[in-house]
A and B are shown apart, each in its own frame.
Chain A
Amino acid sequence: MRKGFTRLILITSFLFLQQLAQAQNPGGDGMKGLSVTLLAVVVLIAFFVIIQVADNLVRIEARKSGVDDQEGRFSVLPGFRDFFRRKIPAYAEGARFVSLKAGHNINLEGQAPAVIDAGTKAATFAVQPPNFRGMLPIPKVVVEVGSTVKAGDHLFFDKTNEAVKYVAPVSGEVIAVNRGERRSIREVVILADREQQYRQLPAFDLEYSSREELVNFLLDSGGWSLLRQRPFDVVASHTDVPENIFISTFDTAPLAPDLNFVVQGRGAAFQKGLDVLGKLTKGKVWLGLDGNGQNAPSPVFTQAKGVEKCWFAGKHPAGNVGVQIHHVAPITPKSIVWTLGVQEVITLGALFSERCFNAERIVALTGAELHEPKYVRTSIGANIGELLKGNLAEGNVRLVSGDVLSGEKTASAGYLNFYDDQATVLAEGDFHELFGWLLPDLATPSVSKALSGSRFPDTVYRANTNMHGEPRAFVITGQYEEMLPMDIYPQHLMKAILTNDYEKMEGLGIYELIEEDVALCEFACTSKQPLQQILRTGLDMMNEQG
């Protein structure tokens, strides 16, 4: 945008000067007018450059001598650059700061206020093997229906990767092992005890143990399932050492939980988790910090030790860890990086500080179709129906584990997915609208400048699940690029996937993306293409190729 604007100014000044030159010298031939214009432009540019350089020198000098207490007070051209550059907030001064232009915030009704409702509890919990990508559909379940388990006891493992154990998030009785298509295991359900019992883990000395011992400890204790690996977004491989580990400390998705609030009072466990991660990588542990707000994020994040920090400012998907990785150390075909959510880091830390698998999750129940959106304190894989009991509005609604862009549809008998800390309820849009494609509509979110969406960025919407149109071939161009703050051409990538062009997929950066990163593109897509689904097909193809 800035580039375009500069060009525009140059061009208009050029045209203006040309006119001026001609008006002054109507009898002269074109040649003369042209050279006069060119000369004038050169003089103008030289003048501009000199002023800019002088301006910068004044600025630097003022800062050096310490008289400039705030950026830019001593510049000759005050504010000129500030029109184009997002001002770096004071709290992020001096740190690595990435400003992202592309993206869009979808503001929906039903944001949870920052209070935890202690009254809402779930009784049943489930661990769902389909949540762990890369696992065979039928894992080996080591518990039986009716057996009692403690939180942290092994539930199942993948037959091709027996080392990684998946553990119970709560203590209680295993009441069901539900199967899906072709006898695949959909969920292992536990009815939780009133008083939670934890499988006590041996004390682990982080300082004097080798990486191998640490890995074995994590594999056995269930901590390993918290680590996710890119490319492909699969459960981390315990035979690989990641180049870096990335954690995004803010979530920009619609109605996402405020992680500053979520992390309150759990700072010690979070820091412990970071220390553990530091031992696992050969590179660095990176925290992506939120540079959007007026105030600094929680000190738990800003004062975390032993990690590298990078600030990000911008609209959704700036909070996606994939976007942050792209701007810090892009994933290459050979590199392996791990990612975790904030609450996963806390659980990881608790393995060492509390010596148990503490699967506590603060979950945001959000959406316009709830009587009362709120935060609740529960555990991994809580039953959604129990959490939302008595809170659901009348009518045809959809329950989603996760956010509305990349979450998964579920029912009230369903469970929160393993990595989700949010449930969203929104109205189903299975109705016809008379001339719905023609009438102006201000009540539905849109990124288009043709509707009000991008004109009034603070409008809060009540969305439903209607497609608002029929699927079509790719027609509009440049739309995805405006929704994805990465140096990637999503439309070309999607076409490469659809045509099975492996070389192009790799070249266009398929390894740097997972579904949530293109979710906003999919939302914005005029042709209603299922981009996340296409991307996953491509990722699976690449993964099979090795």
Chain B
Amino acid sequence: MSSLLEKVKRFEPPKEKKFLHTLFEGFFTFLFTPDITTHGKGVHIRDRMDLKRTMVIVVLALQLCYIFGTYNIGHQHFLALGQHVAFLEAVHLKLLHGLIKILPVFIVTHIVGLGIEFFYAAKKGHGIEEGFLVTGALIPLIMPPDIPLWILALAVAFAVILGKEAFGGTGMNVVNIALLARAFVFFAYPGEISGDRCWVSGLEFEGTVATGEVYGWVHHLFDGLFKGLGLATFGDGGAAVVDGFSGATPLALAKGGWESVTAHYSAAQMFWGDLPGSVGETCKPAIMAGALMLAVTGIASWRIMLSMILGAAFMGIMFNWWGFDAHMNMPWQYHFYMGSFWFAMAFMATDPVTASNTNTGKWIYGFFIGVLGIVIRVMNAAYPEGWMLAILFMNVWAPLIDHFVVQANMKRRMKRARVVAN
């Protein structure tokens, strides 16, 4: 290990080259934990936990979503074309197609996001902070699989510069960076991220007629290999989609009530995630496993998760009670089958920087996200899903919630002082 350390140290650029030095520091601390020790005053020992480890646990919790999401991209693609319809048929093709879609998204997100992070770290003269580790892992999961890369790059740059660096870097941002990137796409390029057309990858639309895309060189490259191995191949592509294909997500259908959803997707399908949607949000068990991991390790607040479930359930029940239209009349528990509720709960609302800081505040914060998300989902015809907006909205309100909680603490103390003084 020490010899490796020396080898790596030999590459250290001089301190005058700020950008290179920051870059080196970033990679060096990725490889080795630094040898800095505690100061003479204050604590002499420190907890093993640091921000890098915290962030990496979140990234690990996302891995099941990545695996399923990648596979599901391919599966939905073939399902739309009517090929390899069974879930576990032609696994290699589906996985490869998924990788071809997700890897560029992942790489572009990181090149743009980390590039900006490195630039600002060098400019401000501090170490590279880990915030983007999680943001960068989240962004590909909340985008449609076919998101144009330039739009993605623009969105990431927008979110990181205006959402984070403008406020002072990791730990200082007001709103969730990953959601800000998604909101940017949502409002600037709504065609790419809403409607029925964007959720299945590799389709081309002419008017209302959809065909499969003509496969590119990567597909062909692997086709050669697959042919050699005697496996199924992609072929040339350009096949027509099956009759009756719509590409609509359950939420788009939910306006017509639960029956019109179940006409397309069974409850089990929605639970296990075999349906179109953003990459990471479809498979509920994978998300729940991640959520459980975060709650058990104490990385994410179980208070926020629980109160968000309560808030959503409460609002669902209220709507049932009101019962104005078909969507409102849909039994409240079915809301949990559709859309990205679980993903938003586990990974978005629990971001410690943008959530409420106080435990009391966390209950309120989570509850209102739950309430607002369902309100937007049910009442606003323009936005089929509400969690992104609900969380961004509550991110903005979180400091106010904390303010009142903290004020209550101060009042308590003041009252006590007065009692003692009398």
Question: Is B a genuine binding partner of A?
Answer: yes
A31 to B357, alpha carbons, bound, how many Å?
Answer: 37
Determine the distance from Cα of A407 to Cα of B38 in the docked complex, in whole angstroms: 12
Given the known inter-chain contacts A30-B331, A428-B37, A437-B33, please indicate yes or no for A469 contacting B44, CB distance below 8 A.
no
A526 touches B320 (CB 8 A): no
Determine if B412 is an interface residue (Cβ-Cβ < 8 Å).
yes
**Chain B interface bracket (under 10, 10 to 19, 20 to 34, 35 or more):** 35 or more
Chain B 122-158 against A: per-residue CB contact (8 Å), 1 yes, 0 no?
A: 0000010111000000000000000000000000000
Chain A's interface size range is 35 or more
B48 contacts A by Cβ under 8 Å:
yes
A472 with B41: CB separation less than 8 A: no
B206 within 8 A of A: no
6 CB contacts below 8 A, A to B, read A34-B321, A434-B1, A449-B296, A469-B34, A478-B352, A507-B410
- A112-B332 Cα distance, complex, nearest whole Å: 61
A-B contact count (CB 8 A): 250
Chain A residue nearest to B37 (CB atoms) is A465
Asked whether any CB of chain A lies closer than 8 Å to the CB of B108, the reply is no
Alpha-carbon distance between A492 and B129 when the two chains are bound, in angstroms: 22
A453 to B297, CA, bound (A): 11
Contact A429 B37 (CB under 8 A): yes
Given A335-B420, A437-B33, A489-B409, do A469 and B46 touch, yes or no (CB 8 Å)?
A: yes
Contacts of A329 in B (CB 8 A): 420
Q: List the one stretch of A59-67, A177-185, A269-277, A398-406 in contact with chain B.
A: A398-406
Given contacts A432-B34, A504-B410, contact A522 B43 (CB under 8 A): yes
Stretch at the interface among B69-77, B166-174, B256-264: B166-174
A524 near B32 (CB under 8 angstroms)? no
Q: Is the CB of A332 within 8 A of B37?
A: no
Question: Which of B42, B362, B414 neighbours the largest number of chain A CB atoms within 10 Å of its CB?
Answer: B42
Task: Please determine whether A527 and B33 come into contact, CB atoms closer than 8 angstroms.
Answer: no
Does B20 make an interface contact (CB < 8 A)?
Answer: no
Is A149 engaged at the interface, CB distance under 8 Å to the other chain? Answer: no
A284 CB to closest chain B CB (Å) equals: 14
Q: Are B320 and A466 in contact (CB under 8 A)?
A: no
Tell me which residues across on chain B come within 8 A of A491, comparing CB atoms: 357
Instruction: Decide yes or no whether B15 CB sits under 8 A from chain A.
Output: no
Q: Is the CB of A468 within 8 A of B46?
A: yes
Query: Smallest distance from the beta carbon of B301 to chain A beta carbons, Å?
Result: 7
Do the beta carbons of B29 and A470 come within 8 Å of each other? Answer: yes
Complex contacts, A431 vs chain B, CB 8 Å: 35
Q: Could you tell me the distance between the alpha carbons of A407 and B41 in the complex, rounded to whole angstroms?
A: 7
Which among B31, B129, B320, B321 is the interface contact of A472 at CB below 8 angstroms? B129
Q: Assess whether B297 is in contact with A332, with CB atoms less than 8 Å apart.
A: no
Which among B32, B44, B131 has the greatest number of chain A C-beta atoms within 10 A? Answer: B44
Chain B nearest CB, measured from A2 CB (Å): 14
A463 CB contacts on chain B under 8 angstroms: 45
Contact across chains for B50 and A449 when beta carbons are under 8 A apart? no
Q: Is the CB of B44 within 8 A of A473?
A: no
Contacts of B417 in A (CB 8 A): 332-334
B323 close to A (CB within 8 Å): yes
Interface positions of A (Cβ within 8 A of B): 4, 8, 11, 15, 18-19, 22, 29-31, 33-34, 106, 254, 329-330, 332-335, 398, 400, 404-409, 424, 426, 428-438, 441, 444-451, 453, 463-470, 472-478, 481, 487-489, 491-492, 504, 507-509, 515, 519, 522-528, 530-533
Q: A466's closest neighbor in chain B, by CB?
A: B37
**Please, which residues of chain A bring their CB within 8 A of the CB of B42?**
406, 515, 519, 522, 530-533
A398: B residues at CB distance < 8 A: 44
Given the known interface contacts A8-B306, A15-B313, A332-B416, the answer about A30 and B31 at a Cβ–Cβ threshold of 8 Å is no
Cβ-defined contact, B50 with A434, below 8 A: no
Report the bound CA distance from A438 to B60 in whole Å.
11
Q: A450-B57, A507-B410 are in contact. List 6 more A-B contacts (CB 8 A).
A: A11-B306, A15-B313, A332-B417, A450-B299, A466-B46, A478-B357
A237 and B414 alpha carbons, distance in the complex (Å): 25
**Cβ–Cβ < 8 Å partners of A405 in chain B:** 43-45
* Interface flag for B413 (CB, 8 Å): yes
| Residues on B with beta carbons closer than 8 Å to the beta carbon of A464 | 45
